[in-house]
A and B are shown apart, each in its own frame.
Chain A
């Protein structure tokens, strides 16, 4: 059974640019959540999608957005990148509400 797949694994971007990250959940899982991990703030929740609808959102600025497609694949977008956006971005796949959550390998974003 394939796990959660995130692409790309590594990205280097310049301040002011935008970036799109992709997450393919485990087959049959309809919930995809996104998290940001930094050494200073730890793991923080960005947002969650289920059946193409955003059900939950964390305390991040509007520059962070996401969407989910009918096949449950999800993308997150960060516009007008700042140096502080450098982080490991993780997505988690769950079958439904309050069920097990499995993480992908993450995308390491570096903003220079």
Chain B
């Protein structure tokens, strides 16, 4: 089982719709979770950071974390063509007393169609 799993997509949604991206992880001790957006040829850009169970909203983005189910999701409301990119889920699998270590999923390609 991979440590961090995402559907590779592509996920296609019409402009203005809600895009829902999902991620599961295997390490129950993981304490912080990230969603990055990466355009082709560019570096990952941090979209959301969450560490507590529940929802966290920032503009059109909402991250949802459920540690019991080992599941983290990202909702993008009012999707725009500029949201078309690869979305990477990352989990900090570092240990307390150790160091940071982000483990990434393979990414979900999102296409927002006009």
A residues bordering B, Cβ < 8 Å? 31, 33, 35, 42-45, 48-50, 54-56, 58, 88, 90, 92, 94, 97-106
Contact = CB atoms under 8 A, between A and B. Distances in A.
B100 A33 contact: yes
Contact of A42 (B43, B51, B104): B104
Nearest to A50: B99
Interface of B: 31-32, 34, 36, 42-46, 49, 51, 88, 90, 92, 94, 96, 98-107
Contacts of B46: 100-103
A86 B98 CA distance: 29
B43 A31 contact: no
Contacts of B98: 55-56
Given A56-B94, A97-B94, A104 B100 contact: no
Contact of A97 (B100, B103, B106, B107): B100
25 contacts: A33-B101, A43-B88, A43-B102, A44-B104, A45-B103, A48-B94, A48-B100, A55-B94, A56-B101, A88-B43, A90-B43, A90-B44, A92-B100, A97-B94, A97-B96, A97-B100, A98-B31, A99-B32, A100-B46, A100-B49, A101-B90, A103-B36, A103-B44, A103-B46, A106-B43
Nearest to A100: B49
Contacts of A48: 94, 99-101
B101 A101 contact: no
Contacts of A43: 44, 88, 90, 102, 104
Contacts of A97: 94, 96, 99-100
A102 B49 CA distance: 11
